[in-house]
Amino acid sequence: MTDLPRSDQELALVATARRVLPGGGFGNLNSEIIIAEGKGGRVRDVSGNEYVDFLLGSGPMFIGHAHPKVVEAVQGLIARGTTFFANNEHGIRLAAAIVDAVPCAEKVRFTSSGTEADSYAMRVARAWRKRDKILKFEGGYHGMGEYSLQSLAPKRPGNFPQASADSPGIPSSVSADMLIAPFNDVEATAALIRQHADEIAGVIVEPFQRLIPPKPGFLQALREMTEKAGIPLIFDEIVTGFRFSYGGAQELYGVTPDLCTLGKIVAGGYPLAAIAGRADIMRYFDRGEVGDDVLPQVGTLSGNPIASAAGLATLEVLREPGVYDRAFATGRRLIEAFTGMIQAAGLPARIVGMPVLFDLMFLEGEVSNYRDTLRQDMDALRWFNATLRQNGVLKGDSKFYVSIAHDEADIALTLKAFQAAVDAEVAFRRG
């Protein structure tokens, strides 16, 4: 595999990163590529190499990098001050836009990250329900909090509903307050909820778990069983919010939770996230409503005006006619072409996901839960991703994030790069 040319400047930065950062990076993309700029559907590294970007900052840049409307909105505010730790017009308007767009949203509370939003969503469910335990699904990602990092990626999956911590530094007591269910399994989930209904404060789920779509009827059944038990249902829509539709996965699938979390796209590429949901649950953030039962939630940058302005500009773009049709059409073209290349080459692989969010998995058979994904050949995927980068396509370790900014030239280059990666994989397997 031939490396792309790297400048002395980039190599020097890599050396500095190795010296001052654990692992030589920020803990995000496992690559020594140093990105210098982005425009539309592409990014450029410090050495001047250009890539079609399907990483999209891990998803936020759904309308593309440096969109003119977002740039204009942000530049128009920066000279007026960066943050105030007080209400501001743009944060209020963004909260109103979320209420207008998202089916479950009656009230909104801002945070600075998805991890915070998920943590507070679980906490407010506990405050409302007066119970401690949260039920989540094996393989479901809900940020970097102690409760979220339970059975996200267990190397030795245990018996349900026992939780296992995915990280050192998490007290063993945390696992006792989490229940783990298999995603897409209605019967197993219903049995757990029946057995533990008096202990459960809330159920949190990615309506589209990582890359795995919900089976028909699964989310509807989950809604029915939680509603019957009086247990708040939380949709983690950090990824799917404003991506699957303007109203998110809950609008696409026609299932309204009690609470949801939002981030990435809604922030326009800036640090902002939110919890949204029913007013009677969200009132626990309001001392005037609940008195001493209030759930304190303070953040120095929560509702930041610059981030809120970027979010408002992004949502304005997403309300334009045909935006989602265009993104889904781009994704379908890529999936169909990729699938044809894989099948023609006879590779044991398949595309899993949705047109706007998918990836290649080196495995055969259906994928409906986390344990199915353990069959995949991760070494092959890492090799494939590296080959894509050498051919001008950047993506994360998993996921192609499709944007509305990817144009015909981007698609053509991507198809060429994917075919080159397929050919390299076939050659490697033949020895």
Q: Catalytic residues, which ones?
A: 141, 236, 264
Give kind and range of the element (H or E) at residue 137.
Answer: strand 133-137
> CB-side exposure of 352: number of CA atoms within 13 Å?
25
DSSP H stretches of helix in 151-217: 172-175, 186-196
CB neighbour list of residue 388: distance below 8 Å, 6 or more residues apart: 394, 395, 417, 418, 421
Residue 96 phi, psi (nearest 5): -65, -40
- Chain-centroid distance of CA 252 in Å reads 16
CB 288, CB 267: distance < 8 Å:
no
CB neighbour list of residue 16: distance below 8 Å, 6 or more residues apart: none
Spatial distance between the Cα atoms of 88 and 68, rounded to a whole number of angstroms: 23
Spatial distance between the Cα atoms of 347 and 344, rounded to a whole number of angstroms: 8
